[in-house]
Chain A
Amino acid sequence: MNEQKTNFDTETSRDDSDVILDVRNLDVYLNTYSGRIHAVRDVSFTLKKGETLVVVGESGCGKSMTARAIMQLLPEKISEVGERSQILFNGTDILKMPEKKKETELRGKYISMIFQDPTTFLNPTMTVGEQIAESLLLHSKMKKKEAMEQALSLLKMVKITNPEKRIRQYPHELSGGMRQRVMIAMALACEPKILIADEPTTALDVTTQADIMELIRELQEKMGTSVILVTHDLGIAAEVGDRIQVMYAGEIIETGTKSEIFKKAVHPYTWALMKSVPSAQSQTEEKLYSLKGTPPDLIAPPKACAFAPRCEYCMGICRRLHPVMAAESESHSAGCWLMHPDAPKPEQLGKGGTI
């Protein structure tokens, strides 16, 4: 049995020219008071031009840390990236770039990020217009006046009502949805190649959420930007994702196209995630499916399958060996021993059944 993990997804598409971002064997460690947390564990994936990749998982699964590693915005001092890790953006390893270059040539220009909470992101002492213009001034040789004009057209692009007035206002004068739009305008100011959105709508109402997701999709089509969307909401994943990647305990446990994940998922954790959310479209059973227990402590991550202690289909091997990432189809792969040809079928293992 091979204990080394192989990721078929990256293996096959490594030479493709339409790959804009190639993350290989990413490890992120966080040195905290309580110990060294292995927050992201050997994560490899690719992002193609113009596609939307959704990363789903519960808090602490490493989805935000992966996003921040790409942006090179990991918490300073306490974080460490593994030695063999590579993050290739158009073939150049971001991790080896000098800090100065990251500042002027990478962040904001080629890769931008929007966050969950626009209130903490926006500077309360600057007007909306000045903040948008700031990034334009840093990355291009625009004059202040030109930058402000550009900021106005960006505000129009993100469909803020009354942009001429808003541009002179401060963040606290805007509603949550409008602030999120301002943040998107800032992120897209330099027409980045990749937009990373970390839970961009979690703090918003459903109606505003739908508007913001629509806006991101529209702008993506217009500019051909690739999007990495980090969320815990499966509904959003189903609405906007081209491909979906499920993370658990710092690892990718299943990845595939939207319909593969929603219709033909193979990993028990993915099943559990989907069963634990009620649907607004249909009346659900009396009781929601709920996973027992909690995710493992990543200070001492398990050597075998991280999901085994909570898994209804757990077998002997699951507690001893780490599962191999195996392919179901060209685009669909998962790390679970159930996929081994000799393993019993999930139905044979009794409990629950598939979704």
Chain B
Amino acid sequence: MEEKQVLVRIEDLCKYFRLSSKEELKAVDHVSFDIFRNETVGIVGESGCGKTTLGRTVLGLYPATSGRVLFDGMDVHSAGKREMREFKKRAQIMLQDPYASLNPRMTVRDIIAEGLETRGNFSKAEKDERVCELLSLVGLRPEYRSRYPHEFSGGQRQRIGIARTLAVEPEFIVCDEPISALDVSIQAQIVNLFGELKEKLGLTYLFIAHDLSMVRHISDRVGVMYLGMMAEMADSRELYENPRHPYTKALLSAIPSTDPDQPMSGRRIRMEGEVGSPVNPPAGCRFASRCPWATDRCRKEMPLLRQVAPGHFCACHLEERQGT
């Protein structure tokens, strides 16, 4: 097997938002993991679990409270201006809403060409040629380049967004719910496009989504977040077939099944209470208040993410007890 090369290393990353002198929202709390080159890491979790904040902090769009993000060895959060400019060419973000992320007053050509400008000086003809190339790469007709975003459907707009992102020729793309706003058949088209581009251009993705089935399909590895902490992380197949963390189990059991003979109701694991608040969270495991197996230790001491099987990491005291 060829050696896997780490592209992004996230070390003990924390991002807290201070709400007032007494209140602090711990959106991302001591998260560490690696993203290998040409790999897709999926991040799932309920809304408010910090997955979007994680993506943004990894890209340096939010300053980190503590911890480091190393991109190809460079610390994103202490990089100088020049390094940062270089980093922004190599790492890009894709957003959820194809309706809000394209400037309605620019033509598709201008939208995509804007990204090209970071890559040096092109003549008008060169730019036009490159825009055409990019449009056909994402499966749109180059003739469309003088149209405006409102003339396209949601799926097409998302393709324009992808073309714009690719214009910068990034190596690493954070995809923040890029398909949530699309119809199922269009989702399939876009997901396939992501897969193709990954092969063709050797891209690396951090794929944030709440659609668990789609994440399983697209990701090599999947991380599950709960209220700012990384609860579990493993190869996607391992995680879905052999979940260890009680939260992962509950989350997976709530996915509606498309097989009418195996309804979810029979296997659903219910969680107690409502999702807690990330504002001034209690010490100990974030999930303890809803976990059916929580003990005193869980309420007092925060479990660490530890390896429970090769490549399978889980942050749960229960695992530790069973493991040793």
User: A residues near B, CB below 8 A?
Assistant: 58-59, 161, 175-177, 205-210, 213-214, 232-236, 238-239, 258-259, 262-263, 272-274, 276-281, 283-284, 286-291, 294
- Chain A hits for B259, CB < 8 A: 238, 262, 281
Q: Of all chain B residues, which has the CB nearest A61?
A: B183
Q: Of all chain B residues, which has the CB nearest A269?
A: B185
In the complex, chain B residues 255-311 whose Cβ is within 8 Å of any chain A Cβ: 255-265, 268, 271, 273-275
Is the CB of B216 closer than 8 A to any CB of chain A?
Answer: yes
Which of A206, A263, A274 has the most C-beta atoms of chain B within 10 angstroms of its own C-beta? A206
Per-position 1/0 for B183-221, Cβ under 8 A of A? 111111101100100000000000000101110110000
Other-chain contact of A235, B46, B252, B256, B261 (Cβ < 8 Å): B256
Taking the closest CB of chain A, its distance from the CB of B5, in whole angstroms, is 23
- Is the Cβ of B265 less than 8 Å from the Cβ of A239? yes
- Is the Cβ of B256 less than 8 Å from the Cβ of A284? no
Q: Of all chain B residues, which has the CB nearest A207?
A: B254
- Chain A hits for B264, CB < 8 A: 210, 239
If A278-B216, A287-B195, A288-B191 touch, whether A206 touches B254 (CB-CB below 8 Å) is yes
A239 to B254, CA, bound (A): 11
In the complex, chain B residues 210-266 whose Cβ is within 8 Å of any chain A Cβ: 210, 212-214, 216-217, 237, 240, 250-252, 254-265
- Is the Cβ of B184 less than 8 Å from the Cβ of A276? yes
- Is the Cβ of B252 less than 8 Å from the Cβ of A280? yes
A58 to B185, CA, bound (A): 8
- Is the Cβ of B252 less than 8 Å from the Cβ of A210? no
- Is the Cβ of A273 less than 8 Å from the Cβ of B217? no
- Is the Cβ of B210 less than 8 Å from the Cβ of A176? no
Q: Of all chain A residues, which has the CB nearest B49?
A: A205
- Is the Cβ of B213 less than 8 Å from the Cβ of A278? yes
- Is the Cβ of B195 less than 8 Å from the Cβ of A235? no
Q: Of all chain A residues, which has the CB nearest B190?
A: A290
If A235-B255, A284-B217 touch, whether A259 touches B191 (CB-CB below 8 Å) is no
- Is the Cβ of B185 less than 8 Å from the Cβ of A272? yes
- Chain B hits for A175, CB < 8 A: 274-275
- Is the Cβ of B260 less than 8 Å from the Cβ of A259? yes
- Is the Cβ of A210 less than 8 Å from the Cβ of B254? yes
Sample of 17 further A-B pairs with CB below 8 A, known A175-B274, A208-B46, A276-B184: A58-B186, A161-B273, A176-B47, A206-B212, A207-B251, A209-B256, A213-B256, A232-B183, A259-B260, A259-B261, A263-B260, A281-B255, A281-B262, A283-B237, A287-B192, A290-B189, A294-B155
